[in-house]
Chain A
Amino acid sequence: MKKQWLLLLTLIGILILSACSESTIPEGAEGAEGEGTTSPEAAEQEVIYASTTDAVGLSPTMTNDSVSSSVMSQIYENLFERNPETMEIEPQLAESYENTDELTWVIKLKEGIEFQDGTPFNAEAVKYTFEKLIDPATAAPRASLLEPIDTVTAVDETTVEIKTKYPYGPLLAALSHSNAAIISPTADEAQDSMQEPVGTGPFKFTSWNQGDQIVLGKNEDYWDGAPELDKVTYKVVPEVSTAISMLQTGEVNFIDALPSEQLSRVESLENVEVTKKEGTPVYYLTFNHSTERNQNPDFRKAVASAVDRDAFVENLNGLGVRSDSVLGPQVFGYDESADDAGTAYDPEAAKQLVEENGFGDEPIKLLAANRDNFILMAEIVQSQLTEAGFNVEIETMEWATFLDTARAGEYDLTFLSWSNVTSDGSEMLYPNFHSDNIGASNRAQYSNPKFDELVEASRTTVDQEERKNYLAQANQLMLDEDVAIVMYHGVVTAATDQSIQGLQLDPNGQWFLQNVTRE
């Protein structure tokens, strides 16, 4: 009997011991912490941010999700960046650029910048980064971002020459995308950049406990002046209401992307400041343009007339901007004349069209992914369409299944959204509506040669004013034909502890901590 007890205790012991052996600091991170701290008297300035998911990885080449992008944007920098106030593209690691011809971009780099590992930032690093992203052997999830690039040449230490396969207008926007951030070639060859990233940015990587938290430290040698913050922690808190409670108790100091139903709770907190800014994301109802019924302009007109978008936006507690335009106010290519150029809400006209054409006879499958506001939108739109006489059935599914189903065109109506770090209209219209991408990202299955031509022109023109013009025309065409019905344009939000000053919130939802101080 004693033997049996011993055996049992040993088994329990093994289980408990495995719990004790847990290490919260991953390999290679020991000793790194604290390096960035200043004098012992000065209190360490730290910001703890709560993120609903963990980053996938920290290599700009190998990731394509927003949390990774958010962490990477503190560590890495790009040749160009979009000014969050003017939305103009400005040089970041680049000094200047010129087009010697439509296919050639000669980019002058800033001098004297070093990566966090001491590797000099130069033309070779830029060449290494871009070639790695494009190389099919890398299998980068966003290889298509720089697909138009033909060659990258390091002319001298601080000059890079990029040749494109065809004139490519959105190149600078693409270069400002977080996936095109410049990586340290030495570090990338020596270690796994997904785990130990090295860039030129204001913060450097300290540690990552997968699924729990990522810690960044101050880059003392940052070329544009070391940041005030000593430490930045990304804590994974999957439940938004828990994150809000943590913000209230001070366990975290900063959250973002507030859901509209939680907004009033956050705004009522005494020590918390809420920042809202008109953003680039757009949420829209689209047709499956491959079916015969949906190709009937009257059918689309009837649907568009039946959806009361004003009422929907009012329900978002200020977290939505109403505009008919597919390219929103913060996106390159937007023209304010498009704000009310779409089909207006007119329930009577909708009823009439439905009755005359018998649109209510056959059921409509409204597909909705079970995330963001999609199900809420589906329920509201279903009731409005039903009122107009349509027969609408909602089908909801989780994200991965939705991506497949929508790509295959197995629906009548669905909700889609777009948000992109480049904030460039071509990056919206080309993947989502150009016929090249049917079967992939063109889930609306939309194909219109005239539209394709305009979008192509917006991509292959280098003159930015002309590009804007083409995008505005393509946008107008979509509204004239009711290709997609814009529900709302997103408002990006952040809720911070009152002690945090100087947070820069970009319209694409990204934020920067370089100038943040805590008082």
Chain B
Amino acid sequence: MIALIVRRALQLLFLLFGISFLVFSSMYIAPGDPAAVIGGPTATESDITAIRDNLGLNDPFLTQYARYVGNAVQGDFGYSYQTAQPVADAIMVRFPNTLKLAIASMIVAVIIGVITGLISALKQNSLLDVSATTFALAGISIPNFWLGALLILVFAVNLQWLPVGGMSNPFYTIDGIKELILPAITLGTGSAAMIARMTRSSMLEVIRADYVRTARAKGVKEKNVIWIHTLKNAMIPIITVIGLNFGFLLGGTIITEKVFAINGVGRLMIDAIAARDFPMVQGSVLLVATLFVIVNLMVDIVYTYIDPRIKYE
């Protein structure tokens, strides 16, 4: 286990190095000049030159990259071109919101997804199964911005049960939970649908396995057959889907953050790309990559619990 973590940490270092180079060079090659965005449409040539000099944008590519990496290994991720704020601060202000949203959405997704998937697997081809499968299909197909806008209109504007947007209260307060409900449902529905489909197919596969028939033949209670012999063995692909989805959600969810006016990492990243705020883009991409690796590591660890046959040397 420890060896696994150490190995992953080392891989992460190389990965981050590679990613930072990719992001840095793609931002460098991409059209659009950060100084021109800062100066605005009426900036004169001298304005723009002064801004470029000030940001060190006139240095050769490798000098800029070496400077970035040199600072980054010392924990200094640079300053935003736009706001002159430390990148790490800007990200850490927003990350808690993204994390709250990701966790809340995953809770919604797992509860709805696993239950729907189970029901439709156990009552295969029944009316319940058909409606659950339809729900899953709809969940995958409905665009987030549409669902978000619809939920706002119904629950915030017309019924006035929940706030329209924003996320400024701690999650353990009533207001904090209220703020999370609509965005979590909006974001969780898509993942719920995926989890439901995976649960259904995985359960159907395991439920026909020989050891399940054996268990039934030996007179094991149906409840135990389902929970101990079937679901647990069907969990591996489900956990994989959950882990992948959670990783994506942690990367920030631009549309949901925008619709619900949530100050998250996704919005930060998109705004930074639009403004060619290279250090900010770089910093947020590195964070997302790190989180993805951590979540995958957690998933791998969970595997060993669910299926003791899985061992990491």
Partner-B contacts on A (CB < 8 A): 1, 3-5, 7-8, 11-12, 15-16, 18-22, 24, 53, 56-57, 62, 64-65, 136, 139-144, 147, 192, 194-195, 209-213, 235-239, 241-243, 245-246, 248-249, 251, 398-401, 403-405, 407, 416-418, 420, 427, 431-432, 437, 439-441, 443
Residues in chain B near residue A213, CB distance under 8 A: 168
Choice from B37, B97, B99, B164 contacting A400 with Cβ under 8 Å: B37
- In the complex the two chains form, what is the Cα distance from A238 to B32 in whole Å? 23
State the Cβ distance, A136 to closest chain B Cβ, in Å. Answer: 6
Residues in chain A near residue B99, CB distance under 8 A: 15-16, 18-19
Q: Are the C-beta atoms of B165 and A210 separated by less than 8 Å?
A: no
Residues in chain A near residue B46, CB distance under 8 A: 143-144, 147
Q: Are the C-beta atoms of A242 and B39 separated by less than 8 Å?
A: no
10 contacts between A and B (CB under 8 A): A1-B305, A7-B1, A19-B99, A56-B83, A136-B50, A143-B50, A192-B84, A194-B85, A237-B165, A403-B33
Q: Are the C-beta atoms of B41 and A22 separated by less than 8 Å?
A: no
Residues in chain B near residue A242, CB distance under 8 A: 152, 164-165, 259-261
Q: A56-B83, A139-B50, A211-B263 are in contact. Are A249 and B43 (CB under 8 A)?
A: no
Q: Are the C-beta atoms of A399 and B37 separated by less than 8 Å?
A: yes
Q: Are the C-beta atoms of B53 and A19 separated by less than 8 Å?
A: no
User: Which 3 pairs, one residue from A and one from B, show the smallest C-beta to C-beta distance?
Assistant: A400-B32, A139-B54, A22-B96
Q: Is B122 an interface residue (CB 8 A)?
A: no
Choice from A4, A239, A416 contacting B301 with Cβ under 8 Å: A4
Choice from A235, A238, A403 contacting B36 with Cβ under 8 Å: A403
- In the complex the two chains form, what is the Cα distance from A241 to B170 in whole Å? 26
- In the complex the two chains form, what is the Cα distance from A38 to B153 in whole Å? 37
State the Cβ distance, A485 to closest chain B Cβ, in Å. Answer: 18
Q: Are the C-beta atoms of A11 and B298 separated by less than 8 Å?
A: yes
State the Cβ distance, A57 to closest chain B Cβ, in Å. Answer: 6
Considering the complex, give the chain A residue whose CB is closest to the CB of B250: A15
Q: Is B276 an interface residue (CB 8 A)?
A: yes
State the Cβ distance, B142 to closest chain A Cβ, in Å. Answer: 17
Most chain A CB within a 10 A radius of its CB, from B45, B100, B271: B45
- In the complex the two chains form, what is the Cα distance from A18 to B170 in whole Å? 12
Residues in chain B near residue A212, CB distance under 8 A: 93, 166, 168, 263
Q: Are the C-beta atoms of B261 and A11 separated by less than 8 Å?
A: no
Q: Are the C-beta atoms of B90 and A210 separated by less than 8 Å?
A: yes
Residues in chain A near residue B164, CB distance under 8 A: 242, 245-246, 249, 251
- In the complex the two chains form, what is the Cα distance from A105 to B144 in whole Å? 58
Considering the complex, give the chain B residue whose CB is closest to the CB of A65: B40
**Total contacts A to B, CB within 8 angstroms?**
188
Q: Are the C-beta atoms of A251 and B166 separated by less than 8 Å?
A: yes
Q: Are the C-beta atoms of A64 and B39 separated by less than 8 Å?
A: yes
State the Cβ distance, B8 to closest chain A Cβ, in Å. Answer: 12
Considering the complex, give the chain B residue whose CB is closest to the CB of A405: B31
Considering the complex, give the chain A residue whose CB is closest to the CB of B53: A139
- In the complex the two chains form, what is the Cα distance from A226 to B311 in whole Å? 71
Most chain A CB within a 10 A radius of its CB, from B82, B83, B160, B305: B83
- In the complex the two chains form, what is the Cα distance from A235 to B301 in whole Å? 42
Q: Is B171 an interface residue (CB 8 A)?
A: yes
Interface size class of B (residues with CB under 8 A): 35 or more
Q: Are the C-beta atoms of B276 and A400 separated by less than 8 Å?
A: yes
Q: Are the C-beta atoms of A62 and B1 separated by less than 8 Å?
A: no
Residues in chain B near residue A194, CB distance under 8 A: 83-85
Q: Are the C-beta atoms of A418 and B41 separated by less than 8 Å?
A: yes
- In the complex the two chains form, what is the Cα distance from A7 to B4 in whole Å? 13
Q: Are the C-beta atoms of B294 and A249 separated by less than 8 Å?
A: no
Q: Are the C-beta atoms of B261 and A237 separated by less than 8 Å?
A: yes
- In the complex the two chains form, what is the Cα distance from A136 to B41 in whole Å? 20
Q: Are the C-beta atoms of B274 and A239 separated by less than 8 Å?
A: no
- In the complex the two chains form, what is the Cα distance from A147 to B44 in whole Å? 11
- In the complex the two chains form, what is the Cα distance from A140 to B261 in whole Å? 31
Q: A139-B51, A235-B261 are in contact. Are A5 and B305 (CB under 8 A)?
A: yes
Q: Is B267 an interface residue (CB 8 A)?
A: yes
Residues in chain B near residue A4, CB distance under 8 A: 1, 301, 304-305
Q: Are the C-beta atoms of A18 and B94 separated by less than 8 Å?
A: no
State the Cβ distance, B157 to closest chain A Cβ, in Å. Answer: 5
State the Cβ distance, B80 to closest chain A Cβ, in Å. Answer: 9
Choice from A64, A404, A443 contacting B40 with Cβ under 8 Å: A64
- In the complex the two chains form, what is the Cα distance from A62 to B39 in whole Å? 10
Choice from B1, B45, B54, B85 contacting A440 with Cβ under 8 Å: B45
Residues in chain B near residue A420, CB distance under 8 A: 42
Partner-A contacts on B (CB < 8 A): 1, 30-34, 36-48, 50-51, 53-54, 82-85, 89-90, 93-97, 99-100, 103, 149, 152-153, 156-157, 160, 163-166, 168, 170-172, 258-261, 263, 267-268, 271, 274-276, 294, 298, 301-302, 304-305
- In the complex the two chains form, what is the Cα distance from A238 to B42 in whole Å? 25
- In the complex the two chains form, what is the Cα distance from A443 to B171 in whole Å? 49
State the Cβ distance, A394 to closest chain B Cβ, in Å. Answer: 18
Q: Are the C-beta atoms of A211 and B268 separated by less than 8 Å?
A: yes
State the Cβ distance, B174 to closest chain A Cβ, in Å. Answer: 16
Q: Are the C-beta atoms of B47 and A209 separated by less than 8 Å?
A: no
Most chain A CB within a 10 A radius of its CB, from B36, B47, B103: B47
Most chain B CB within a 10 A radius of its CB, from A144, A236, A431: A144
Residues in chain A near residue B83, CB distance under 8 A: 56-57, 194, 210
Considering the complex, give the chain B residue whose CB is closest to the CB of A14: B294
State the Cβ distance, B67 to closest chain A Cβ, in Å. Answer: 18
Q: Are the C-beta atoms of A246 and B165 separated by less than 8 Å?
A: yes
Most chain B CB within a 10 A radius of its CB, from A140, A238, A248: A238
- In the complex the two chains form, what is the Cα distance from A68 to B51 in whole Å? 18
Choice from B37, B96, B268 contacting A18 with Cβ under 8 Å: B96
- In the complex the two chains form, what is the Cα distance from A398 to B268 in whole Å? 17
Residues in chain A near residue B51, CB distance under 8 A: 139, 141
Residues in chain A near residue B31, CB distance under 8 A: 400-401, 404-405
Choice from A8, A19, A64, A417 contacting B171 with Cβ under 8 Å: A19
Residues in chain B near residue A440, CB distance under 8 A: 43-45, 48
Q: Are the C-beta atoms of A141 and B84 separated by less than 8 Å?
A: no
Residues in chain B near residue A432, CB distance under 8 A: 42
Q: Are the C-beta atoms of A431 and B50 separated by less than 8 Å?
A: no
Q: Are the C-beta atoms of A64 and B38 separated by less than 8 Å?
A: yes
Choice from A18, A249, A404 contacting B33 with Cβ under 8 Å: A404
Q: Are the C-beta atoms of A236 and B261 separated by less than 8 Å?
A: yes
- In the complex the two chains form, what is the Cα distance from A245 to B46 in whole Å? 43
Q: Are the C-beta atoms of B43 and A11 separated by less than 8 Å?
A: no
Choice from A24, A243, A437 contacting B45 with Cβ under 8 Å: A437
Q: A4-B301, A22-B96 are in contact. Are A398 and B39 (CB under 8 A)?
A: no
Residues in chain B near residue A441, CB distance under 8 A: 41-44
Q: Are the C-beta atoms of B156 and A64 separated by less than 8 Å?
A: no
Q: Are the C-beta atoms of A437 and B261 separated by less than 8 Å?
A: no
Residues in chain A near residue B298, CB distance under 8 A: 8, 11-12
A-B contacts besides A210-B89, A400-B37, 16 pairs, CB < 8 Å: A12-B298, A19-B100, A57-B83, A57-B84, A64-B43, A194-B85, A195-B85, A209-B263, A211-B263, A237-B261, A251-B165, A400-B32, A407-B36, A431-B42, A440-B48, A441-B44
Residues in chain A near residue B149, CB distance under 8 A: 241
Considering the complex, give the chain A residue whose CB is closest to the CB of B168: A24
Considering the complex, give the chain A residue whose CB is closest to the CB of B157: A245
State the Cβ distance, A59 to closest chain B Cβ, in Å. Answer: 9
State the Cβ distance, A280 to closest chain B Cβ, in Å. Answer: 13
Residues in chain B near residue A431, CB distance under 8 A: 42, 44
Residues in chain B near residue A18, CB distance under 8 A: 95-96, 99
Q: Are the C-beta atoms of A142 and B157 separated by less than 8 Å?
A: no
